[in-house]
């Protein structure tokens, strides 16, 4: 495939930065949408709150990847921050979808970020893309977030929702908080450790996003998670082995709730999510297992 022009929002985030680097390394022309004055021709202005998106920067794009949204684990979930989590996703997605739909020659594909939070707490029941939305704050956000892309879909743009799991990375996200704890020798299972975590290595996350761009038949929700979710107990044991630090301690659930607030329900909750559509579409994982995913994240 020759070089393509690709527009990306959320390019300063953990996944966005890695995706920009990967695409540019392969000769693609990446336009980063930013909320400040652009610093050069490779940047364009957008304002998710007002709905403004620079239409000239979208013209001629072969794909748009929309990853922008306030971090879920970055702040305590006050009422105001919960509104920010929701608005940053729903308003931003609506703005991008409307801008894409308004173009005379819209891009063939919009890959819009979403999350496995859609499914809520699934206990030890495996779910794939056919499962309904769960109950609670994050599932309701994911439902609205995906629905906001309707203008692009209605305009005939192939619209894919990348329902991302827990990305194994040392630089940020939930895992970024785990690495220093384990390196210090104080890592351990969280709560009872029986909750399932649906993880994915950073390499596979980026490869999967690119697979969504490049696979013509794929639209709708696609889970971006490794083939076999594991329990928190299994994952913390693997962290201990790879970092050569025994995972001796359990962090009691009440302590986590105090430290993390409502976000602790995300960490203590169980999501056993399988990437059925990714596997059916021929995607091959480089790091299907947890130990190789953790090793790949080490500097």
DSSP string computed for 264-295: HHHHHS---B--HHHHHTT---S--SHHHHHH
Give the mean pLDDT of 5-22: 96
Give the number of other CB atoms < 10 A from CB of residue 135. Answer: 9
Q: Is residue 256 part of a domain?
A: no
pLDDT at 251: 67
Q: Is residue 141 part of a domain?
A: yes
Give the mean pLDDT of 75-104: 91
pLDDT at 125: 95
Q: Is residue 54 part of a domain?
A: yes
pLDDT tier at 150, thresholds 50, 70, 90: very high
* In contact, 238 and 198? CB cutoff 8 Å: no
pLDDT at 21: 98
pLDDT tier at 224, thresholds 50, 70, 90: very high
pLDDT tier at 77, thresholds 50, 70, 90: confident
d(CA 118, CA 2): 35
Give the mean pLDDT of 265-280: 86
Q: Is residue 213 part of a domain?
A: yes
Read off the CATH number of the domain in which 34 is found.
Answer: 3.40.50.720
pLDDT at 73: 67
Domain with 123, as residue range(s), is: 5-169+198-227+273-288
Checking if the pLDDT of 266 tops 80, the result is no
Checking if the pLDDT of 1 tops 60, the result is no
Quick one: tokens of 253? 């659930």
Q: Is residue 24 part of a domain?
A: yes
Q: How many domains does the chain have?
A: 1
Give the mean pLDDT of 190-217: 93
Q: Is residue 179 part of a domain?
A: no
Checking if the pLDDT of 179 tops 80, the result is yes
pLDDT at 23: 98
Q: What average pLDDT does the structure give for the chain? A: 90
Q: Is residue 94 part of a domain?
A: yes
Checking if the pLDDT of 2 tops 90, the result is no
pLDDT at 286: 98
Q: Is residue 243 part of a domain?
A: no
Give the mean pLDDT of 38-46: 93
Q: Across the beta sheet with 5-9, what order do the strands follow?
A: 52-53, 43-47, 29-34, 5-9, 63-66, 109-115, 158-164, 220-224
Checking if the pLDDT of 70 tops 90, the result is no
Question: What percent of the chain clears pLDDT 70, i.e. is strictly above it?
Answer: 91
Greater confidence (267 vs 184) lies with 184
């Amino acid at each position: 495939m020759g070089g393509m022009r690709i527009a990306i929002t959320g390019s300063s985030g953990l996944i966005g930065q890695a995706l920009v680097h990967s695409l540019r390394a392969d000769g693609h022309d990446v336009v980063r949408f930013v909320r400040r004055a652009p610093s050069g021709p490779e940047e364009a202005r957008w304002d998710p709150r007002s709905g403004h998106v620079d239409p000239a920067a979208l013209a001629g794009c072969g794909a748009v990847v929309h990853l922008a949204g306030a971090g879920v684990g970055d702040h305590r979930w006050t009422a105001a921050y919960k509104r920010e989590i929701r608005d940053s996703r729903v308003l931003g997605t609506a703005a991008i979808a409307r801008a894409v739909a308004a173009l005379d020659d819209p891009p063939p594909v919009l890959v819009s970020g979403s999350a496995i939070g859609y499914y809520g707490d699934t206990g030890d029941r495996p779910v794939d893309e056919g499962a309904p939305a769960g109950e609670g704050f994050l599932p309701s956000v994911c439902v609205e977030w995906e629905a906001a892309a309707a203008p692009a879909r209605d305009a005939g743009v192939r619209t894919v929702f990348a329902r991302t799991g827990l990305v194994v990375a040392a630089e940020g996200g939930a895992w970024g908080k785990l690495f220093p704890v384990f390196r210090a020798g104080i890592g351990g299972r969280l709560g009872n450790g029986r909750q399932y975590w649906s993880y994915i290595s950073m390499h596979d996350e980026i490869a999967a996003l690119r697979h969504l761009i490049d696979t013509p038949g794929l639209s709708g929700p696609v889970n971006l998670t490794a083939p076999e979710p594991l329990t928190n107990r299994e994952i913390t044991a693997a962290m201990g082995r790879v970092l050569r630090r025994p995972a001796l301690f359990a962090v009691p659930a009440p302590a986590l709730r105090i430290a993390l607030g409502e976000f602790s329900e995300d960490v203590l909750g169980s999501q056993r999510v399988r990437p059925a559509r990714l596997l059916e579409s021929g995607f091959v994982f480089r790091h299907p297992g947890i130990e190789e995913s953790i090793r790949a994240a080490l500097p």
